[in-house]
Chain A
Amino acid sequence: MSRIVRTAADILYPAILIFGLYVVAHGHLTPGGGFQGGAVIATGGALVIVAYSYKEITGWLKKNVLLGREVIGLVGFIGVGLLALAFGQVFFFNYLAGSGSLFGTPVPYGINAGTLNTAGIIPLMNFAVGIEVWGGLTIVILYMLSGLEKEGC
């Protein structure tokens, strides 16, 4: 691609990354969550892949790292749920909401401005699902590009 497109992609990629991480992290206060934020971050990755050619990308985005990222996302999601069994409750119980530790400020009923420290294990699950969707969507694009380059169809 031409020089203008490459420079614009270089400038826009960190901004898209930060916006996607903001949508993932504030999933329990504003519209958004794990799946939506992961799709936004994967769109930023697709912009960089389109702007540069495939040979320059393989040295920088490796397939094993992206596969590992997707697996870590799914294992983290199940692990957070299994950790509730260690506290004597059922699978996927919200053991951090209402208590005083990491994400556990109690919230009374009513319209309020919203604080980040509130909702139990929901932000941890948001991060796990966001990492899984990011790795998954980017690796589909990379595999399809590699299958295209080899045959030249």
Chain B
Amino acid sequence: MLWNLPFITVVVLTLIGLVTVLLKKNIIKILLGINILQSAANLFLIALGYREGGVAPIFTLAPSELMVLPTPQALVLTSIVIGVATSALILSFAMVLQRKYGTVDIDKIRRLQG
């Protein structure tokens, strides 16, 4: 079972992220759960593209010519940047909500103004 360790880590991280998003009441903790879910998805994509005994796909002074797959690494680069944009948006929402309602508890933010 130990040879599948990256995939077992992906399952554990996904479950932790799901529990945090579903069961917590603070907006900042929900944002941390979303970040953990994104990390699990990125790790899964990179672990899919590994070749046994391969090196990084760069031709500058490379040790050998057996290389890992470069396409999942390109997709993960895009995903990390989108995670940054999502986190920035949710944090600015949380700041404006705290100024208006006085709390960041999602059970108390229920009235629609206007």
Contact = CB atoms under 8 A, between A and B. Distances in A.
A30 B60 CA distance: 7
A144 B91 contact: yes
Contact of A111 (B65, B81, B84, B99): B65
Contacts of A114: 59-61
B8 interface: no
The contact size tier of chain B is 10 to 19
A29 B60 CA distance: 6
A153 B99 contact: yes
Contact of A151 (B58, B81, B84, B99): B99
Contacts of A110: 59
B60 A112 contact: yes
Nearest to B95: A147
B33 to A, nearest CB: 21
Contacts of A137: 84
A1 interface: no
Contacts of B65: 111
Contacts of B58: 29-31
B92 A144 contact: yes
B77 interface: yes
A148 B91 CA distance: 12
B60 A113 contact: yes
A134 to B, nearest CB: 13
Given A140-B88, A144-B92, A111 B98 contact: no
B56 interface: yes
Given A113-B61, A114-B61, 18 more contacts: A31-B56, A35-B77, A35-B80, A35-B81, A110-B59, A111-B59, A111-B60, A111-B61, A112-B59, A112-B60, A140-B88, A143-B92, A144-B92, A144-B95, A147-B92, A147-B95, A147-B96, A148-B95
Interface of B: 56, 58-62, 65, 77, 80-81, 84, 88, 91-92, 95-96, 98-99
Interface of A: 29-31, 35, 110-114, 137, 140, 143-144, 147-148, 151, 153
A-B CB proximity, top 4 nearest = A114-B60, A111-B62, A140-B88, A29-B60
11 contacts: A29-B58, A30-B58, A31-B56, A35-B77, A111-B59, A111-B60, A114-B60, A143-B92, A147-B95, A147-B96, A153-B99
